[in-house]
């Protein structure tokens, strides 16, 4: 009755189904782990943003990796170095418009070799000649205290020098070690994403806070993959039953018709 399952077509179909089931289950767990990672990341960002601000020097130092403390609110006091100010190319605002991020060193002491910290003051649109340093709103003069979110250095996996072939005072990445070489002074690892003081309408557009509410579609994708895995054996059974029914119907239609009995005639007596 089920000998057709030994045919080449059905053997291949069965093997494909047996391979698809674990693959789909694994893909489901992959999406589930991505969901867990996103939830953990959201919790981490929320806790960091809710924590009281601390002096940036408590979390960072020249050459230090601050990845474990990103999004923490920090404060720093000093004077902005407008001569060491650079812009970061190819950055977009919340509406997707292209422009620059304004990166200003904040000198933490009056010493010529004293430490500094990089402050991302916000976004400005790109206008005019892109090969020249754009017009940048001036930072506050004198000694100021700023508050912002601590961010880790941006890196380029290619290892190409950040300023190679770029116009003066323009960079592609925010990296404290590279800026330390240009400023000829130690620079704290990472940088501050400015939130206070508010630059006002004439200053750079502040960088938006990170999204830590959305969990993304990964859990839905995980459930879909697991449902697909469950549908494989169900679909296989449906196909087997349909094949068996079709073969049975074909056998019945090709069977020879039963001939009716010929009526016996009475024998004529000799």
How far separated are the first and last CA of the chain, in Å rounded? 55
pTM: 0.75
pLDDT band, very low/low/confident/very high, at 198 (cuts 50, 70, 90): confident
Burial status of residue 42 (CB atoms within 10 A of its CB: 0-12, 13-18, 19 or more):
middle
In sequence order, the 6+-apart residues with CB closer than 8 A to the CB of 105 are 80, 81, 84, 85, 116, 117, 118, 119, 179, 183, 187
The whole-number average pLDDT for the span 211-239 is: 90
Q: What is the pLDDT of residues 119-158, one digit of tens each?
A: 999 999 988 788 888 999 999 989 999 999 999 999 876 4
Answer whether 228's CB lies under 8 Å from 9's CB.
no
The confidence score (pLDDT) of residue 212 equals 75
SS3 (DSSP) at 219: helix
Partners of 69 in beta bridges: none
Q: What is the pLDDT of residues 17-70, one digit of tens each?
A: 999 999 999 999 999 999 999 999 999 999 999 999 999 999 999 999 999 999
Q: What is the pLDDT of residues 165-176, one digit of tens each?
A: 788 999 999 999
d(CA 40, CA 215): 10
Q: Which of 36, 45, 94, 100 is nearest to 73 (CA)?
A: 45
d(CA 194, CA 206): 7
Domain spans in the chain, listed from the N-terminal domain onward: 3-43+218-245, 57-196
The confidence score (pLDDT) of residue 270 equals 44
Q: Which of 240, 237, 194, 222 is nearest to 24 (CA)?
A: 222
The confidence score (pLDDT) of residue 262 equals 47
Q: What is the pLDDT of residues 71-93, one digit of tens each?
A: 999 999 999 999 999 999 999 98
């Amino acid at each position: 009755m089920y000998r057709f399952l030994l045919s080449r077509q059905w053997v291949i179909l069965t093997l494909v189904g047996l391979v698809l089931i674990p693959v789909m289950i694994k893909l489901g767990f992959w999406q589930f782990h991505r969901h867990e990672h996103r939830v953990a990341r959201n919790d981490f960002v929320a806790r960091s943003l809710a924590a009281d601000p601390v002096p940036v020097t408590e979390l960072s130092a020249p050459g230090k990796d601050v990845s474990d403390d990103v999004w923490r609110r920090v404060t720093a006091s000093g004077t902005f170095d407008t001569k060491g100010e650079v812009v970061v190319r190819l950055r977009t605002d919340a509406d997707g418009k292209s422009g620059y991020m304004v990166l200003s060193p904040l000198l933490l002491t009056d010493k010529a070799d004293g430490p500094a910290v990089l402050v991302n003051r916000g976004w400005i649109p790109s206008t005019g000649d892109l090969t020249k340093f754009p017009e940048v709103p001036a930072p506050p003069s004198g000694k100021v205290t700023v508050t912002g979110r601590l961010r880790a250095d941006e890196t380029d996996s290619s290892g190409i020098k950040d300023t190679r072939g770029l116009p003066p005072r323009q960079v592609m990445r925010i990296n404290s070690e590279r800026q330390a070489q240009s400023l000829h002074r130690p620079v704290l690892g990472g940088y501050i994403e400015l939130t206070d003081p508010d630059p006002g309408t004439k200053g750079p557009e502040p960088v938006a806070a990170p999204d830590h509410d959305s969990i993304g579609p990964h859990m839905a994708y995980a459930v879909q993959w697991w449902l697909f895995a469950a549908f494989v054996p169900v679909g296989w059974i449906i196909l087997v039953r349909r094949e068996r029914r079709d073969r049975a119907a074909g056998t019945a239609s090709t069977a020879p018709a039963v001939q009716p009995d010929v009526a016996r005639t009475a024998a004529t007596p000799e």
